[in-house]
Amino acid sequence: MTSAIARPSAVLLPGTGSDEIFVRSVFAGPLAVAGVGAITPPPPPGELVGVEYLKLLDMLADAGPLIVGGISFGAHLAVEWAVRNRHRCAGLLLALPAWHGEPGRAPASLAAMASADLVAAQGLEEALRRSTAGVAPWLAAELARAWRRHGHGLAASLRAAAARPAPPLSALRTLDVPAGIAACTDDPVHPLACARAWARALPRAALVETTLAALGEDRESLGRAAVLAWQRASRS
């Protein structure tokens, strides 16, 4: 006899200038081990990246409550949606949050704005050449693929993400769902202090730390950290 119970799924959104290929490589394997499917929609083009992702989550939630999450800006959007749809959110998988409230001078926001200016002034290929000089080969390869896939909408997408407020900590305190947070201790763009602030604010959160060095060797290391944190939070 086969079971008629559908496997739960989580919707995961990528970070600024990233794409669904990367977020899938991070989350799909660890979620499969946990018995959860991964839905990884591609980024909408240009300045509407945030608006269109939120609309997509609304549509997907028509079929039932969602586990939502993502990386960096994707994590911000997931929490923004959850705050507006508490009754439709079943859990959160949040990797590398970059700020809360207004971005201000958050490193990730400044970096995205600088990248957008570089793309607009120098063109995509020259911006890639400059942005990948001296970075780890795995990150250079990720940027080259994802930025090219964004195409002409890249600069507008980067600016929209960089300027969009994340939910304030006061809003996070209203989300009584299991929330798994993953942070890298050696990542200056996504400060560990921000992840810890999110973990303190969310009522049922757990935080698991990893490193960018581990992520470079194994994309799933970040996903495993988030899923492990979510499993711990689910038992609280």
Please give the pLDDT value at position 13.
98
Distance CA 13, CA 127 (A): 24
**Please, what is the end-to-end C-alpha distance for the chain in angstroms?**
34
Please give the pLDDT value at position 8.
86
Predicted confidence (pLDDT) per residue in 21-76, tens digit = 999 999 999 999 999 999 999 999 999 999 999 999 999 999 999 999 999 999 99
Taking residues 194-203, report their average pLDDT: 98
The mean pLDDT value of the chain amounts to 96
Q: What is the strand order of the sheet 89-95 is part of?
A: 37-39, 9-13, 66-71, 89-95, 179-184, 205-210
Taking residues 129-146, report their average pLDDT: 96
Q: Do residues 166 and 79 make contact, with C-beta atoms less than 8 angstroms apart?
A: yes
Can you tell me which residue has the tokens 């890249």? 154
Confidence band of 236 (pLDDT split at 50, 70, 90): confident
Distance CA 198, CA 172 (A): 7
Extract the tokens encoding 127. 């911006």
Predicted confidence (pLDDT) per residue in 111-134, tens digit = 999 999 999 999 999 999 999 999
Please give the pLDDT value at position 6.
62
Q: Pick from 131, 106, 110, 142: which is nearest to 20 by CA?
A: 142
